[in-house]
């Protein structure tokens, strides 16, 4: 992955984690935005096909792994949305907005705790000891305290842009709560005990699931 863009590396991390077939290169669909606009995946259905454009803040793109925690999370979320839509389209399956948000929340945690981003970006917690080679899929040293700090930043110390009681606001809050429960289960049941193969299997099952099964898997945590 040497020489690849930050967004391309995120796509490669996720594709490797979930054992996905080849997807279109996300970089070909990115449209940089200015003026404070946040990440957004635009989808248009036309003649049986889908047209996609991924809007990402230009500043976040240019800073890459040196960006703020929020900027990095926006990039991961955008790439996650793009890849999930592409995979569901390849399998000729629908994708709901809640699925997209829930999967993106899980993807942020997976990459920042169990993936290569843990070593690439400046996180709001003590750094992890570096290691050589790729991250998922493959065992890495798990640090429970650091993982808990990241989980707190992702799922507890959050500010929602849309108020509760609105469709968008409720969707983001539901996705946040479900992802927090699922991420906690991954760490408590698998990562803490070195059960890496089972961790990967749980992640891949969750990724392949539709909305109903995703919710059930998260609530079972």
> pLDDT tens digits for 126-162?
544 444 344 455 556 788 888 998 999 999 988 898 8
Whether the per-residue pLDDT at 182 is higher than 90: the answer is yes
Whole domain around residue 191: which residue ranges?
6-219
Which residues lie closer than 8 Å to 181 by C-beta, 6 or more apart?
218, 219, 221
- Look at strands 49-57 and 40-46 and give their pairing: antiparallel
Say how far apart CA 214 and CA 197 lie, in whole Å.
Answer: 20
pTM of the model: 0.89
Domain count, the chain: 1
Domain assignment present for 166: yes
Domain assignment present for 14: yes
Domain assignment present for 65: yes
Q: What confidence score (pLDDT) does residue 2 get?
A: 58
Domain assignment present for 50: yes
DSSP-derived 3-state class of residue 42: strand
Query: Of the candidates 84, 108, 107, 106, which has an alpha carbon nearest to the alpha carbon of residue 95?
Result: 84
Say how far apart CA 18 and CA 4 lie, in whole Å.
Answer: 20
Domain assignment present for 1: no
Whether the per-residue pLDDT at 19 is higher than 50: the answer is yes
Confidence bin at 6 (pLDDT 50/70/90): very high
Whether the per-residue pLDDT at 176 is higher than 90: the answer is yes
Q: Which of 35-49, 54-68, 92-106 has the lowest mean pLDDT?
A: 35-49
Q: At what angle do helices 196-208 and 6-18 cross, to 10 degrees?
A: 100
């Amino acid at each position: 992955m040497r020489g690849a863009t930050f967004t391309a590396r995120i796509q490669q991390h996720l594709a490797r984690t979930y054992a996905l077939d080849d997807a279109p290169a996300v970089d070909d669909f990115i449209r940089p935005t200015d003026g404070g606009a946040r990440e957004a995946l635009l989808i248009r259905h036309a003649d049986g096909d889908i047209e996609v454009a991924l809007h990402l803040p230009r500043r976040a793109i240019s800073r890459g792994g040196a960006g703020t925690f929020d900027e990095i999370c926006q990039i991961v979320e955008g790439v996650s949305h793009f890849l999930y839509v592409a995979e569901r389209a390849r399998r000729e399956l629908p994708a709901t907005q809640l699925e997209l948000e829930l999967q993106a929340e899980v993807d942020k945690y997976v990459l920042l705790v169990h993936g290569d981003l843990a070593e690439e970006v400046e996180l709001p917690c003590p750094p992890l000891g570096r290691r050589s080679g790729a991250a998922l899929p493959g065992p890495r040293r798990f640090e429970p305290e650091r993982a808990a700090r990241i989980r707190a930043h992702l799922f507890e110390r959050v500010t929602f842009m849309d108020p509760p009681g609105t469709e968008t606001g409720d969707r983001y809050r539901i996705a946040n709560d479900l992802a927090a429960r699922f991420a906690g289960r991954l760490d408590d049941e698998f990562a803490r005990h070195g059960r890496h193969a089972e961790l990967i299997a749980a992640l891949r099952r969750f990724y392949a699931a539709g909305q109903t099964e995703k919710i059930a898997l998260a609530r079972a945590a």
